Structure 1
Amino acid sequence: MSSNDVAVPRPALPLRLLRSPVGRIVAFAVMAWLIGMGCTQAYKALGLPHGAIPFGEVTPLIELFRLLPIVLAYWLLVRFIERRHVDELAARKLVPHVLLGLVAGFVLFSLVVGCLAALGAYVVDGTNTGVPWLGLVLVLGVGAGVGEEIVSRGVLFRIVEEGLGTWISLLISAAFFGCAHIWNPHATTWSALAIALEAGLLFGLIYHVTRSLWLCMGVHAAWNVAQGPFYGIPVSGFEQKGWLASHMQGPDWLTGGEFGAEASVVALCICSTLTAVLLAVAVRRGSLVPPFWRRRAAKATA
């Protein structure tokens, strides 16, 4: 050590535990819960409606109260515990990445619908008027896109990847994403597995390759809005009245049954193909993160 070098003191044990992968995930959950309690009290004080609210009746204020705990907890996690800028949600990326994600998500699900229609499984009967677009977009688009992507990719995938590497992180975050949908109406073991494989792996790799939550949010939001409010297909088990009045016909393995097209082998095959392409990009870049024990072994050898 030269005379100009200054030894950096090692952080105290509690701080090291807090900044560990497990510590940060727990910290996020606790902060989201505490902020959620405060939001609940404010929600009640404003006299907003309680209980299960139909998707079409959700207002921007209601959705704000739903998302605020997750968004604020994530910002606090990154800025004050990880002590860095929230690069994955950088303002300069918002417009281009969200727009790209919206286009990609709509095209991706339209490809699924096109294949189902070609196979005779998706049939359009006409159009519907009076679709409550605002509420549906808020819940299925903004709510699911922002909330689920922050939790599943921003917190779980990103932090687990730092410790256990990309492969294990993909498996854990995909399993979590699939299990999170097992309580939805008409959900089955197969539908949860399909969600994990087609969406959990895909969104994890989208984030890994781009390091942008905005892009993940855009794809997720457009996929849901295209599926329900536009094509009239149930979204993860929730029945929808879309702009296109439609119905499915054929075996459940093809149509997805009452859960919706996300449980269809068509969606699984199309999304898995894109997942394979993104994985190939990551392998070619050499960006896949090895688990910590391999990194330590490589460092020791070097």
Structure 2
Amino acid sequence: MSAEPTVATRPALPLRLLRSPLGRIVAFSATAFLIGVVIARIYDGLGLPKGAIPFSDVTPLIELFRLAPVVLAYWLLVRIIENRRIDELAPRKAVPHVLLGIAGGTALFSLVVGALWALGAFVVDGVNHDVPWLGPVLVLGVGAGVGEEIVSRGVIFRIVEEGLGTWAALLFSAAVFGGLHAWNPNATAWSALAIAIEAGLLFGLLYHVTRSLWVCMGMHAAWNVAQGPVYGIPVSGFEQHGLLASHMRGPDWLTGGAFGAEASVVALGLCSVVTAGCLAIALRRGTLVPPPWRRNRAQSA
């Protein structure tokens, strides 16, 4: 006797809405907020410092509390709502992909500094021997690398790409990423735009071609740590006390001004070259996701 054919049942409407691109983004945001409320109560109960904490005073425990809402909300989003493995954060890829990202981020920002030095814009005054490494590395490296990449690439870029295609995801996630930096100290409309183009587009395409948040996290962290704790350049508007005692000389369009080298045309140009390389890889592979109307047209043809 032949077995009865199985009929796939369509999920109920509430579940379909929850699993839609917009539903998942809203669910992640709400979950992170609620977890954050609980985490804040625990944080206060432990008597940990409140308010704006200097980078040098941040401890591993403080940074753990800061990252917990985003990390836990993403785990719940992927494992419970999307009902899949977190392939973009697969443990077996962690070490090699993070190291690859760190190497890439360090090399890229070192190229930026080297170009600024060759142009006479980056001047080294000496070496600092009292750099508070732990706090800045936790905030600028681990905190920004993990938290911002989960939100910007793991949630916004990835989910918008599924719904509206790669180009829409790149533009939207880059705009959000640049906008989030518009409130930083010494930020300007130009610095927000530069961040959106040089980092938002770059990290979006880097995630697209690698499908690994580990690579993006490593590169993001290394870029920030090289910029601040190593070269002594302000990171996204935040002043730094780095290994090199340095200052910039020249017009703001070249040096980035008080915001730092991320607002320099040199960083914008070099990052755009790497972005173009990632785009070329995606085009050669044919992996760019088309918008939904083109998908529907292809399916009906």
- Tell me how far apart the structure 2 counterparts of residues 34 and 248 of structure 1 sit (CA, whole Å): 43
- TM-score in terms of structure 2 length: 0.99
Q: Does 1:77 align with 2:77?
A: yes
User: How big is the shift at 1:3?
Assistant: 6.0
- Tell me how far apart the structure 1 counterparts of residues 121 and 5 of structure 2 sit (CA, whole Å): 69
Aligned to 1:259: 259
Q: Output the amino acid matched with 1:177.
A: F
Aligned to 1:269: 269
Aligned to 1:300: 300
Q: Which runs of 5+ in 1 are unaligned?
A: none
- Tell me how far apart the structure 2 counterparts of residues 56 and 31 of structure 1 sit (CA, whole Å): 30
Aligned to 1:6: 6
- Tell me how far apart the structure 1 counterparts of residues 84 and 7 of structure 2 sit (CA, whole Å): 22
- Tell me how far apart the structure 2 counterparts of residues 75 and 51 of structure 1 sit (CA, whole Å): 27
- Tell me how far apart the structure 1 counterparts of residues 208 and 97 of structure 2 sit (CA, whole Å): 14
Deviates more, 1:123-132 or 1:146-155: 123-132
**Kindly, what percent of the aligned residue pairs are identical?**
74
Q: Output the amino acid matched with 2:79.
A: R
Q: Tell me how many residue pairs correspond in the alignment.
A: 300
| Structure 2 SS opposite 1:205 | helix
Q: How does 1:173-252 map to 2 (within 5 A)?
A: 173-252=173-252
Aligned to 1:156: 156
- TM-score in terms of structure 1 length: 0.98
Q: Which runs of 5+ in 2 are unaligned?
A: none
User: How big is the shift at 1:6?
Assistant: 1.2
Aligned to 1:61: 61
Q: Output the amino acid matched with 1:237.
A: G
1:244-263 alpha-carbon deviations (Å, 9 max, x no partner): 00000000000000000000
- Tell me how far apart the structure 1 counterparts of residues 177 and 127 of structure 2 sit (CA, whole Å): 33
- Tell me how far apart the structure 2 counterparts of residues 276 and 94 of structure 1 sit (CA, whole Å): 26
User: How big is the shift at 1:104?
Assistant: 0.7
Q: Output the amino acid matched with 2:11.
A: P
Aligned to 2:130: 130
User: How big is the shift at 1:230?
Assistant: 0.2
User: How big is the shift at 1:5?
Assistant: 2.4
Aligned to 1:15: 15
- Tell me how far apart the structure 2 counterparts of residues 159 and 30 of structure 1 sit (CA, whole Å): 16
User: How big is the shift at 1:296?
Assistant: 1.1
User: How big is the shift at 1:4?
Assistant: 4.0
Aligned to 1:285: 285
- Tell me how far apart the structure 2 counterparts of residues 40 and 66 of structure 1 sit (CA, whole Å): 9
1:112-154 alpha-carbon deviations (Å, 9 max, x no partner): 0000000000000001111110000000000000000000000
- Tell me how far apart the structure 1 counterparts of residues 5 and 116 of structure 2 sit (CA, whole Å): 65
1:37-75 alpha-carbon deviations (Å, 9 max, x no partner): 000000000000001000010000000000000000000
- Tell me how far apart the structure 2 counterparts of residues 4 and 243 of structure 1 sit (CA, whole Å): 71
Q: Output the amino acid matched with 1:39.
A: I
- Tell me how far apart the structure 1 counterparts of residues 276 and 141 of structure 2 sit (CA, whole Å): 25
User: How big is the shift at 1:7?
Assistant: 1.1
Q: Does 1:113 align with 2:113?
A: yes
User: How big is the shift at 1:289?
Assistant: 0.2
1:274-299 alpha-carbon deviations (Å, 9 max, x no partner): 00011010000000000112111100
